[in-house]
Amino acid sequence: MHSRFALISLLSTLGLASPAANMKMKPRDLLPRLPDPGVVITQCASPGMLALAYDDGPYQYTSALVDILDAAGAKATFFFTGTLYGCIYNQASAVQKAYQSGHQIASHTWTHPQNFGSMSGDQITQEMQQLEQALANIIGVKPAYMRPPYLATGGSVLPTLGSLGYKVITNDVDSGDWNGNSVSQSQQAFQQAGTGGNGHIPLMHETYDTTVNQLTPWLIDWAASNGLRLVTVAECLGDASGAYSETGLPGNGQNSC
């Protein structure tokens, strides 16, 4: 008798004692799972969309890129750094223009360190918080999304970003613009990835004239002719209201390049 009571108790603990208990589904279980901080995300959570994502700005093409996207009614995501190509404060108006146009502003770290994957947790935290302070000063919000430089996700990167609340994006299509791919080679990468399945989050850089002025217009047409909506990374993950952190906005304003 003793062991039978123990079994019933165990089944009850597991929620298996009553078949009816298994029929109940919590509303949250019926919704797509929202991204967890510190967990690498490579693609959208749903089909029918494309989340254009541009690394390494702000740069001299940022403003023109926003114009191209806005003219098409497209939304995109900008993974900005603080100092990679000059100081972000010197390009504050382009950053503000991208934000005010409804594009998602996300972090690509303060200095874009080559050794991000081997940095200590404190160093990674510094990289994130310096850019947070700059974005708080320039656009008044703190990003909740980031893409690691060189897509480095080893070492202390994920635990540290998780503890800071960052949702970590890599990619599932590589335009190869950083590696000397021609525009037509980049286009082939998208065509090979195709338009079925969950939406793509590509790796692209706004620091190439060809990516901004040739590949992006082609992608806008490609998306339109295939019925894909051009949305931010957060929206393509069902997390449109989670693009920015609601708490922990840096307060003292002290920050410079």
The reply to whether 205 belongs to the active site is yes
Binding residues among 76-95 for Zn ion as defined by CB under 5 A: none
**At its nearest, how many Å lie between Zn ion and the CB of residue 234?**
19
Nearer to Zn ion, 178 or 222 (CB): 178
- Which region, judged by CB under 5 A, interacts with Zn ion, from 89-97, 144-152, 154-162, 227-235? 144-152
| C-beta of 56 vs 239, nearer to Zn ion | 56
> Is 55 or 235 the residue whose CB approaches Zn ion more closely?
55
Based on the residue annotation, tell me whether 55 is a catalytic residue of this protein. Answer: yes
Amino acid, single-letter form, for residue 218: W
Q: Which secondary structure element, helix H or strand E, spans residue 219, and what is its range?
A: helix 216-225
Q: Binding to Zn ion by residue 206, rule CB under 5 A? A: no
Site string for Zn ion, 35-74 (x = CB under 5 A): --------------------xx------------------
Least distance between Zn ion and beta carbon 55 (Å): 4
**Long-range contacts of the stretch 151-159 (C-beta < 8 A, 24+):** 151/203, 152/116, 152/117, 153/40, 153/117, 154/117, 154/118, 155/117, 155/118, 155/119, 156/119, 156/120, 156/121, 156/124, 157/116, 157/117, 157/119, 157/124, 158/38, 158/39, 158/40, 159/38, 159/121
What is the nearest approach in angstroms of Zn ion to the Cβ of residue 233? Answer: 15
Q: Give me the active site residues, please.
A: 55, 205
| Interface contacts to Zn ion, rule CB under 5 A | 55-56, 149
